[in-house]
Amino acid sequence: MATSQEAIDAFSAAGGSGQDTQNDAISNPIEVDDNDTLENDSAFGGPAASNTSKTSLTSGITRYREENGRRYHAYRDGKYLMPNDDDEQDRMDLLHHVFNLVLDGKLYLAPIENPQRVLDVGTGTGIWAIDFADQYPSSHVVGCDLSPIQPGWIPPNLEFEIDDVEDTWRYSQKFDFIHIRSLGGSIASWPHLLDQARDNLNEGGYIELVDFEYHGYSDDGTGELAPSFQKWQAGLDEASKLFGRDLNVAMKFKDWLEEAGFEAVVERHWRLPMAPWARDRRNKEIGLYLQQNMLDATVAYGMAHFTRILGWSPEEYQVLAAGVRNEFKDPRVHNWCNMYIVYGRKPISSGEETISPALGAPVLSTGADLISGNETRYAGRGKNKDKEVESANVGEEKVSGKATEQERRDESDIAAAVKEAADNVMAQGKGKSKVLEVVGEGGALGIAPGKGKSVK
């Protein structure tokens, strides 16, 4: 019988690119492969089994903690319950591949264009930061983590630093893009973290949060065939809450970003199989990698949570983990999980002059721009409650606010100035605007090329 890793290698060798099925924001059940595919499909190799910087480092940072056969970080010992040894690094890199599969090779979804300063919070092995630095050689990328486990050979536009992201950030320059992935169970106060991220973003810059909901579901009731897994995930949830660093935070990202003052917040989620039981090839490949991730995660995620927080003995936990691994290898169990990506933009202060990417010239704006393809829209919020003004649609969302009569007169004046600026640009031959779209509320106005109608 082939191991899960051998099945992954066999699938890759067989050309399993998984490009035939989109899996974005799936709400319908994933179809089950009734043919017991791992037994019959040689590309998967048979049933899966368990297999199991530039920063100057001090000896204190690299004096790791050894516990129950796993190695943990030394810096701020005890703040993070995940190991940092070679097995865990392999698991993190495997999970990076899962994200790549889901996003068809994209490193992010936020509508950013050629960011110059990028921060990867909780960079881990640094694999995302390395890929980003390679893809954007003109950018300067910073990866931050508690553990110095990043490679030494890195792109010249990348640097790693060892720091606690829950401390006060002291960057001398702000960032255009902040990326935070897989930090569920690591942060005591997400609102505080997001406030710091907002304060360290340039106006108009984006933040993107990525994580899983650490809970499995089944549409056909087969999750009941995995009682050890149910006990394991319930224990993890309890332990993380007692520890003060909740694992299941991805579902709250959108609300937290909005409460932190970000705008144009977008949430996307995917339903992903946790084993290769799905019928279509793309989901099957994702499930194969997630199965291997979960086989490894039973030790990585659980040992410290159950022994340090819940008071289990290592032997008790090992018995539970063995049961979980056996259930993940059971083809009758059709569990799936949710993956979330949420991004938002830091507003631009009132009255600032900005460069419109669509027009290539200064545009007077008292709102914040949302770039989508070749469209740029500016939207803002009014503060007066006398009368409601509703702006044009931005994607599938609407931005609404209040405006007084005086504010509406101000809007008209600003709109005239904006139109004059656009006309000057057109006269200079620097661009061509098919339609001048004015979107504003309470003094937040701007121009946008596109097919929309004038809105006041």
**pLDDT score of 430:** 39
Domain range 4-344, CATH architecture: 3-Layer(aba) Sandwich (3.40)
Is residue 345 over pLDDT 80?
Answer: yes
**What are the tokens at 369?**
């721009």
Domains of the chain, by residue range, sit at 4-344, 348-427
**So what's the pLDDT on residue 367?**
30
**Percent with pLDDT over 70 in the chain:** 58
pLDDT of residue 175: 98
> Are 257 and 194 a contacting pair, CB within 8 Å?
yes
- Mean pLDDT check: name the lowest of 120-124, 247-251, 298-302, 407-411: 407-411
Does pLDDT of 257 surpass 80? yes
Residue 441 is predicted with a pLDDT of: 35
User: What Å distances lie between residue 108 and 41, 96, 115, 214, CA to CA?
Assistant: 33, 12, 12, 21
Mean pLDDT of the chain: 71
State the Cα–Cα distance between residues 342 and 226, nearest whole angstrom. 30
In this predicted structure, the answer to whether residue 442 has a pLDDT above a threshold of 50 is: no
What's the rounded Cα separation, in Å, for the pair 251 and 211?
9
Distances 100 to 106, 219, 242, 324, 388 between C-alpha atoms, Å: 6, 26, 33, 26, 43
Q: How confident is the model at residue 8 (pLDDT cuts 50, 70, 90)?
A: low
* pLDDT computed for residue 73 by the predictor: 42
pLDDT band (50, 70, 90) for residue 86: low
Lowest-confidence segment of 317-326, 380-389, 409-418 by average pLDDT: 380-389
Q: What are phi and psi of 50, to 5 degrees?
A: -80, 135
**pLDDT of residue 191 exceeding 90:** yes
Flag whether pLDDT at 225 surpasses 80. yes
The pLDDT score that the predictor gives to residue 220 is 96
Q: CA separation (Å) from 29 to 219, 273, 283, 334, 455?
A: 7, 10, 12, 11, 41
Q: How many CB atoms lie within 10 A of CB 128?
A: 24
Quick one: average pLDDT of 318-340?
97
Q: Which of 6-15, 141-150, 275-284 has the highest mean pLDDT?
A: 275-284
Better-scored residue on pLDDT, 375 or 336: 336
Where would I find the H helices in 54-119? 59-62, 86-102
Q: For residue range 93-146, list pLDDT tens digits in order.
A: 888 999 999 999 999 999 998 899 999 998 988 899 999 999 999 999 999 988
Residues 445 and 414 sit within 8 Å (Cβ to Cβ): yes
Terminus-to-terminus CA distance in the chain, angstroms? 67
pLDDT value, residue 414: 47
In a 3-state reduction of DSSP, which class is residue 143?
A: strand
| % of the chain beyond a pLDDT of 90 | 46
Whether residue 407 is predicted with pLDDT greater than 50 in this model: the reply is no
Cβ burial of 213 (10 Å; 0-12, 13-18, 19+) is: middle
Per-residue pLDDT at 91: 80
Going by C-alpha positions, the residue among 83, 91, 149, 146 that lies closest to residue 303 is 83
Question: Residue 278 has what pLDDT?
Answer: 96
Between the CA of residue 202 and those of 49, 119, 243, 373, what are the distances in Å?
47, 12, 33, 21
Listing DSSP states for 167-201 in one string gives SPP--SS-EEEEEEES-TTT-S-HHHHHHHHHHTE
Give the number of other Cβ atoms within 10 Å of residue 185's Cβ: 22
> Which of 200-204, 266-270, 385-389 bottoms out in mean pLDDT, i.e. has the lowest?
385-389
Res. 187: pLDDT tops 60: yes
Task: Give 370's strand partners.
Answer: 377
3 state SS of 352 = coil
